[in-house]
Amino acid sequence: MTDPRLTPIAASLPSSVPFVGPEAQERARNSAFDARLGANESVFGPSPRVAEAMVQTDIWKYGDPENHELRQALAAHHQIKSANIMVGEGIDGLLGYIARLFVAPGDHVVTSLGAYPTFNYHVAGYGGTLETVPYTVDHEDPAALFAKAKETQAKLVYLANPDNPMGTWHDGETLKKALDDLPQGTLLVLDEAYIDSAPTGTAPDIGPDDPRVIRMRTFSKAYGMAGARVGYAIGAAPLIDAFNKVRNHFGMNRAAQAGALAALQDQAHLASVLEQIATARTRIDRIARDNGLTTLPSATNFVAIDCGRDGAFAKAVLDGLIARGIFARMPFAAPQNRCIRISCGTQNDLDAFAAALPHALADANGG
């Protein structure tokens, strides 16, 4: 029963969840997963300094609505001004604010078919019309995205580099050149959630005050703080200030603010995590090959394994893994949904995955 008092947009929206959480799946199967490899969390965890900083926080105090200390530290880290940085409740929260600022009913927004569903959720939530372009050889295609933006006079175009769910990436120079064809009036939302684990040169060399682009970064991936909800946007100062029109000013968790600051200050821990990610990527590739499968190159903390057939087959493999206690996910759209997506895990996690995969494949092959 829809409440008759809802706005027309709200009434038209489904009560949907972009992703079902692993806890809900565990409740449904009445058993905990043995390996949590589905949400691209960092099982390697945050710096030990994060827990110290969080536990020392006076949680009875509201967080600083200006996120002053964290923004100052991020500005120093990136050698930009704090006026170019907006801290928010994860990239998800920031994407919601961006959609709210730019998307009114009838506005067009461009993304890749099968890219991040939560971005699409926010765009639809404000009445926007999504336009999609297919991946090109499992890469997001900047030229095609920007051409579609021009064709549809899009307000926003979304591009993740490195990409989720495929793990592929473009080098920064390629992206920077592609920007020449971004139409005037379109803002590029460049999701760099996975940039920390990407090769040097993947982040395009564009100034923070470039009004064409807003970049999204996070402490949820390589920094190991997904549960803390700390993301930030880098963009031109007037655009950054526009978040103050709509954001939940006191929305940041105070311990998360302190934890993110501590995480940023422990770059040695980040470096060690990046080594563990690299080791895990190699191991996942090895496990795939041991089972006659191939993987896509990855600049992220996960690897897409090509199951070699169609989406139904990959879904059967995925179901077989989940039935065996391995939480994983897969791309939504064809032909990328021939793959399953495995987050980098510990040696134990990947042992469990290696043990389960042959059985899941056998099931999918009809036993």
Which residues 89-108 are close enough to bind a second copy by CB under 8 A? 89-90, 92-93, 96, 100-104, 107
DSSP 307: -
Nearest to a second copy of 212, 359 (CB atom) = 212
Give the binding range for a second copy (CB under 8 A) out of 223-231, 289-297, 330-338, 357-365.
223-231
- Would you give the end-to-end CA distance of the chain in angstroms? 44
Angle between helices 347-364 and 311-323 (to 10 degrees): 130
Among 53, 110, 239, 314, which residue interacts with a second copy (rule: CB under 8 A)? 239
Residue 173 found at the interface with a second copy (CB under 8 A): no
One-letter amino acid at 354 equals A
Among 242, 278, 333, 355, which residue interacts with a second copy (rule: CB under 8 A)? 242
Residue 45 found at the interface with a second copy (CB under 8 A): yes
Supply the minimum distance, in Å, between the C-beta of residue 316 and a second copy.
Answer: 26
- Asked if 231 contacts 223 with a C-beta cutoff of 8 angstroms, the reply is no
Nearest to a second copy of 18, 199 (CB atom) = 18
Rounded CA-CA distance 185/95 in Å is 18
Nearest to a second copy of 236, 314 (CB atom) = 236
Q: Which of residues 15-44 bind a second copy (CB under 8 A)?
A: 15-19, 21, 23-24, 27, 36, 39, 41-44
Among 35, 37, 46, 166, which residue interacts with a second copy (rule: CB under 8 A)? 46
What sign for the dihedral angle of Cα 46, 50, 55, 59? negative
Residue 311 found at the interface with a second copy (CB under 8 A): no
Nearest to a second copy of 25, 291 (CB atom) = 25
Supply the minimum distance, in Å, between the C-beta of residue 242 and a second copy.
Answer: 6
Residue 228 found at the interface with a second copy (CB under 8 A): yes
Among 244, 272, 294, 348, which residue interacts with a second copy (rule: CB under 8 A)? 244
Give the binding range for a second copy (CB under 8 A) out of 11-19, 132-140, 157-165, 198-206.
11-19
Supply the minimum distance, in Å, between the C-beta of residue 87 and a second copy.
Answer: 13
Residue 201 found at the interface with a second copy (CB under 8 A): no
How open is the CA angle 237-243-247, to the nearest 5 degrees?
A: 155
One-letter amino acid at 71 equals R
Residue 83 found at the interface with a second copy (CB under 8 A): no
Strand partners, 133: 112
One-letter amino acid at 208 equals P
DSSP string, 235-303: --HHHHHHGGGTS-TT-S-HHHHHHHHHHHT-HHHHHHHHHHHHHHHHHHHHHHHHTT-EE---SSSEE
DSSP 3: -
Among 114, 162, 231, 259, which residue interacts with a second copy (rule: CB under 8 A)? 259
Residue 79 found at the interface with a second copy (CB under 8 A): no
CA of residue 19 relative to chain centroid, distance? 12
Nearest to a second copy of 14, 366 (CB atom) = 14
Supply the minimum distance, in Å, between the C-beta of residue 137 and a second copy.
Answer: 30
Nearest to a second copy of 13, 335 (CB atom) = 13
Residue 57 found at the interface with a second copy (CB under 8 A): yes
Strand partners, 156: 109, 187
Residue 241 found at the interface with a second copy (CB under 8 A): yes
- Asked if 130 contacts 160 with a C-beta cutoff of 8 angstroms, the reply is no
Rounded CA-CA distance 170/140 in Å is 9
Three-class secondary structure of residue 115 per DSSP = coil
Residue 196 found at the interface with a second copy (CB under 8 A): no
Nearest residue to 200 via CA among 169, 233, 167, 171: 171
Among 6, 143, 271, 362, which residue interacts with a second copy (rule: CB under 8 A)? 6
Question: Alpha helices, DSSP H only, in 22-141?
Answer: 22-29, 48-55, 68-78, 90-102, 117-125
Among 34, 125, 265, 351, which residue interacts with a second copy (rule: CB under 8 A)? 125
